[in-house]
Structure 1
């Protein structure tokens, strides 16, 4: 491949280094970046507050929330949905009243046309029209240029019938269901499951639990939990265990080791790992921004 000089612009080859340099300086082309550790939410943090959960609850899809935060979210969304439904009903009743008014106006116009037709039976029988009043010179008696057929040739911008009208934006019927902010599925308070994290026993009483790198362990194997360790929640007890524990121990007898209750496949909820502001899941850590492309 041809090697370019520092200020060479007449070469036939557009190298990858030049393309990358021009992309970063001009703002064209798709930009991608790998999300760092500081931008990824920890597995035990709330998906709304991004802080460690004090009273953790989990949805059927495995998204973790703090109980106080998700309750405030549900209450806020219900109020917002109620306001939107009131606005929609108000708009619906207004449209209904307008249609009724138009129907009454149409009936009145038919009545007037009928009265005018019946008021001159000679014209109604012969099919002739009444002559327009005119002066001796043959011109119209009206001085308004809107009554002589010139309304299209000489429109007046101050005439209300000729001015454009701005109508309000039509609202569609709002969704009456509160949806999970992460998955978008309907969310109900009874579907939230209280869970319990097993704190690590490292005999360090001085350091607070939040500042520790390793905070919780598996309730069965005592393995340290983290974003790199797939975890599940046992619905029968609410304890958090590792996926390895489920595959090697629990699935043999399908019994919860912490309380001895029988388990079903639906009772094992995979816990979603840390999401960030750039990507939807901790597994996908590449964030991309689509920008206008620049061709060589």
Structure 2
């Protein structure tokens, strides 16, 4: 098989380059785009509002939120769960009443239907056949009307959707785990330049806003950080390994530390290297066959 040129249109073989060119022109296939720096959330931004936090809190999994945003989200989830729980309990009570009513009236309905059927057969059967006093086999229950889409009275109807029992508590919008307000930890960033107002501090570049509370190193998406639960201070993981691991004590509050008190802060990535997130956006479209 001979090799075709990139712009060959008279060949009998549909080459790989021609398929890629037609796919890009027609909008079919899989499209991969590398995310730029503007598409990555900064380490000090809320996971819900995607804006720099003024009153930040962190979950035990390390996701940073604005206090107002996460509290409003959890309250909304609790209200929704309470509403769904009431609807589920109401439907459950109605189903129990229907089952009890069917169980009580089942015997009476069978007896009345059998008597009506026997009287009908006696009236319609000619005398002398001897069949009027007998009930056909299997005629204890009269056959119900067959469903029909043409007769309004016999049109089948769909019953109410059976509700599932809702969950008991709200979940974190990022990790999907159970989350309570008592589990939120207040975060205190150390500003790079003291004395600045919150508006002027947030107007600076993310890498120039905050520093490590122990070493003074600048914080950014490329720097792994951790939050100390007793004091809420943000430090680098390098400082944790070098300064905190030997004594396991918070130098700012003086409280003893455990492994659960060191919360690694979830961060975004840079435009060149990943930091726990995927930097490639993938969009699948219908595939054009050769």
**Fold shared, TM-score > 0.5 on shorter chain:** yes
Q: Could you list the runs of 4 or more consecutive aligned residues of structure 1 that deviate by over 4 angstroms after TM superposition? A: 113-117, 202-207
The structure-2 alpha-carbon separation of the partners of 1:273 and 1:156, relative to structure 1 and needing over 3 Å to count, comes to closer
Report if the CA contact (8 A) 2:4-2:11 is conserved: no
Alignment of 1:1-296 (within 5 A): 2-4=3-5, 6-10=7-11, 12=13, 14-15=15-16, 17-112=17-112, 130=122, 132-133=124-125, 157-158=150-151, 160-161=153-154, 163-201=155-193, 208-213=200-205, 214-274=208-268, 283-296=277-290
- SS class of match (2:235): strand
Q: SS of the residue aligned with 1:237?
A: coil
Can you give the 5+ residue segments of structure 1 that lack an aligned partner in the other structure? 121-128, 136-148, 276-280
Q: Could you tell me the TM-score, scaled by structure 2's length?
A: 0.80
Task: Name the SS for the 1:72 alignment partner.
Answer: helix
Q: Note closer, same or farther for the CA distance 1:13–1:113 as it changes in structure 2 (3 Å cut).
A: closer
SS at match of 2:285: coil
- Counterpart CA distance in 1 for 2:39 and 2:197 is 29
SS of 1:272's partner is: coil
Q: What do residues 138-186 of structure 1 show as CA deviations (whole Å, max 9, x unaligned)?
A: xxxxxxxxxxx9x88xx7932623x221222221111121000000000
Superposition TM-score, scaled by structure 1 size = 0.78
| Residue-pair matches, total | 264
RMSD over aligned CA atoms reads 3.1
Counterparts of 1:224 and 1:58, CA distance in 2:
20
